[in-house]
Amino acid sequence: MEEINEINLYHIRVPMSEPFKISSGEISIKDSIIIELKFKSGLVSYGEASPMAGSFYSNETPESVWDELVNFIRLINRKFDFDNFEEKISKIVTHFSQLGLSSYAIAGIETALWDAYSKRSGKPIYTLLGGNYRQVESGLAVGIYDSINNLLNNIEKYLELGGYKRIKIKIQRGWDIEPILSVRKVFGDIPLMVDANCAYTRDDIEYLKKLDDFNLIMIEQPLSKDDIEGHAILQSKISTPICFDESAVSIKKLRKAFKINACKIVNIKIQRVGGILNAKKMHDFCKKNKISVWIGTMPELGIGSIQALSLCMLDNCKFPTDVEDSRRWYLDDIIEPIIEVKNGIVIFKEDVNVNLKKVKKYMVNKIKVKFN
Ligand SMILES: [Mg+2]
């Protein structure tokens, strides 16, 4: 039995190496909330809640998730027995979900408990999930730029840094066919995919048929997250596989999507589905339904990225992950060693430490909860 006697919440803001623009917004600073659990035994574990500022992918913001955690973190089970861990973690997730916490806040708490479980058992998270170590391929993701030249120059720069296994570009109305054509022209037949972050509607279905001309691996989330039927109509008219991202919030949603062939691939994100266990369950559900998955990111800082890499060890992850070299998005990261990508492969280190000096350097808010 372990007992939590202190919890620290740190809201940190790390400058990004370049502004990140997608169809729904733009950011230049990465906000993240680090959850530190301290146990009586001396065990210390970390989780990350990683909403994007400005309601980038969802209604949640760093401030709203911070408030949820400050208000509810005290309700965590203080005494924790790690037997039947998945059953217990499932109850905790359900409890916080019933209290109305967002998937981001729940992911922060849940992943901190997985870290504790992993450290206590001396086994990496992917082993505890039933995965086996394998090399993880990383894909380069780039945002929307103000010119085609800027897009091409940045892709070239980042490909040199990590030698990524595929390119993903963000698209929206007015920024789709031309950038795709240009990337194909300059980078040849490199594996290429596009992500619309819900930018199109059913009215664009005829237009989107043009995407079939570019041999894309997939188109991620073309339509609104709630328009599952619309995706099924689009998928019946295009051969490029549709990948769900924003729509992939639960097994319930996926069940409906698979029934009507609304997508052929799923991007699973720990932050969007409320933690590692839900992500694993969705992975397994997709596998059962013969739908391939891959692991996406917000992107998170190092703590969340390492957890995402653990999920990449599961055998139905068939495409490169969005987890990239720490230096690709951030001027600094809070883990040691940082994540590196060489020749498109992530250099995966199991023993990663959180650098508290850096956490404090980038901290804009902190709350300590002490139990006696
Ligand atoms: Mg996406």
| Token pair belonging to 39 | 């146990």
- Span from the CA of 268 to the centroid of ligand 1 (angstroms): 10
Predicted confidence band of residue 349 (pLDDT cuts 50, 70, 90): confident
- Ligand 1 centroid distance, CA of 143 (Å): 11
Q: Per-residue pLDDT for 173 more than 70? A: yes
Query: Per-residue pLDDT averaged across 339-357, rounded?
Result: 93
Are 78 and 71 in contact by the 8 Å Cβ rule? The answer is no
Q: Which amino acid, 38?
A: K
> Which tokens hold the place of 159?
């490909």
- Say what the pTM is: 0.96
Q: Is 342 a catalytic residue?
A: no
pLDDT at 102 over 70: yes
Express as a percent the part of the chain with pLDDT over 90: 91
CA 79 to centroid of ligand 1, rounded, Å: 37
φ, ψ at 16 (rounded to 5°): -90, 160
Tens digits of per-residue pLDDT, 248-303? 999 999 999 999 999 999 999 999 999 999 999 999 999 999 999 999 999 999 99
How far is the centre of ligand 1, averaged over its atoms, from the C-alpha of 192 (Å)?
Answer: 14
360 catalytically annotated = no
Alpha helices in 193-314 (DSSP H): 205-208, 228-237, 251-259, 270-273, 276-288, 302-311
Distance 245 CA to ligand 1 centre (A): 5
Q: Which of 165, 225, 269, 358 is catalytic?
A: 269
Looking at residue 56, its pLDDT comes to: 67
Task: Please report the pLDDT score of residue 57 as a whole number.
Answer: 67
User: Domains of the chain by range and CATH?
Assistant: 2-122+356-370 (3.30.390.10), 127-354 (3.20.20.120)
57 vs 204, residue with greater confidence: 204
Q: Is the pLDDT of residue 22 over 90?
A: no
Annotated catalytic residue, options 30, 170, 280, 358: 170
**How confident is the model at residue 106, as a pLDDT?**
98
